[in-house]
Every structure is written in C-alpha cells, then in structure tokens.
Amino acid sequence: MNGCDAPTDPVAHPGALLPLLSSDAEVGAFFAAVADLDATNPADHLLEDGIRLASGARLEQFARAGSGDAYCFVGAGGEERPVV
C-alpha cells in the first residue's frame, strides 16, 4: 500500500494485519466499526509528496477514516512502525 513493505499474502505472513484489512471482509468490518478505518482501496490512500512530521519523518498513509482523517505509518519499514 502506497509503497508499504507490508506483505500482501496473509497466509504466507501470519500475524500481518494490513493484508487482512483488505482481503478479509470480517476483519475489515470490525476495524471499520471500532476505528472508522477504511483500508479497502490503497489507491485512495496517497498523501501529497513532501508531507512529513515536524521531525522530518516520512508519513505513509495506509488507511483513512470516514471523517477524512488519515492513518499513517511513521518512517521506513513495515507494520512494526509507529502509527499516527
């Protein structure tokens, strides 16, 4: 997603959450209900180039909320990164 290093095959990578959000309807519905999180269409989750934290850390959006807010990983790496 948006250049994310997250694995795309939930069977090959047990415990990885992002692949489940877009491939398992029950998991997606759960997070939509409790966190208003939508990770169903990665193309909708692109940030403008150059958007970073004040520290300079890169943000990588992986989902959105119904309010228009973004769920973003901070820095480089996979799912182990902090989320804002």
- Of 80, 75, 66, 65, nearest to 3 by C-alpha is 75
**27 contacts 21 by C-beta, under 8 angstroms:** yes
Please, is 63 exposed, middle or buried when counting C-beta atoms within 10 Å of its C-beta (0-12, 13-18, 19+)?
A: buried
Question: What pLDDT score does 20 carry?
Answer: 73
What is the structure's pLDDT at 10? Answer: 42
Q: What is the reported pLDDT for 1?
A: 40
Q: Strands, DSSP E only, in 8-58?
A: 37-38
Q: Which amino acid is at 3?
A: G
Query: What ranges do the domains of the chain cover?
Result: 1-84
pTM confidence score? 0.61
Residues of the chain short of pLDDT 50, as ranges, are: 1-13
